[in-house]
Amino acid sequence: GAGVSQSPSNKVTEKGKDVELRCDPISGHTALYWYRQSLGQGLEFLIYFQGNSAPDKSGLPSDRFSAERTGGSVSTLTIQRTQQEDSAVYLCASSLFGLGNTEAFFGQGTRLTVV
Amino acid sequence: QQQVKQSPQSLIVQKGGIPIINCAYENTAFDYFPWYQQFPGKGPALLIAIRPDVSEKKEGRFTISFNKSAKQFSLHIMDSQPGDSATYFCAALNTGTASKLTFGTGTRLQVTL
């Protein structure tokens, strides 16, 4: 498809386990973003990749969270030693260039439940 | 720190009504203000956006009103329809950094028949 694709759609994991969430951005988009959406909350910025520049990791809530983007395309968000408060919908978005000049397109999200 | 405050949290209007969702921001460096619409199980999608050099922008039945001095902006939906039932998020961006949107907490809108 032509949109942002995220996998898996749903993930249930046990507390303490590691999880990997995948994002396939729209082909050709240079910018990629990860957001977290908790129940009753807005979207919380996690990390931003732009081309070959160093990522903006200022939104990552703890050192248990990390993300990488390989070859300027696919991105993986990894959460180590998951906690119940990590339960949320994790959204990925991509844009052709930086925001404000081009639109960010969101994927459908990965719903993570930590039990 | 909640940099973008959104209200109300939820809203119910009858078909044909004009729901109004309000947002206020604190950071005067913000210079781009989009609204996103999100249906259950879907990611947010850009609905309409405004820059602070204009006070109003219309696209179809959706209008943004912007008050720069008050640091407030609002979304109006004219002739609302049941298909408009969704969660609406306001957001703000400093295009100088262009790295991240700051979102409000969302408004769940229900349009009844």
pLDDT at residue number B98 = 65
Q: What is the mean pLDDT of residues B24-53?
A: 93
A56 CB neighbours in chain B (<8 A) are 99-100
Q: What is the mean pLDDT of residues B59-85?
A: 97
Closest CA to A72 of A110, A107, A24: A24
Closest CA to A33 of A80, A75, A88: A75
Q: Which residues, in sequence order, are bridge partners of residue B75?
A: B21, B64
pLDDT at residue number B2 = 62
pLDDT at residue number A103 = 85
- Selecting from B43, B46, B95 the residue whose C-beta is nearest the C-beta of A108 gives B43
Per-residue pLDDT in tens (0 to 9) along chain A, 115 residues: 579 999 999 999 999 999 999 999 999 999 999 999 998 778 999 999 998 889 999 999 999 999 999 887 999 999 999 999 999 999 999 998 877 767 899 999 999 999 9
Q: Cβ A109–B43 below 8 Å, yes or no?
A: yes
Q: Cβ B99–A56 below 8 Å, yes or no?
A: yes
Min CA distance, B98 vs chain A (Å)?
5
pLDDT of B89 strictly over 90: yes
Q: How does strand A10-13 pair with strand A110-114?
A: parallel
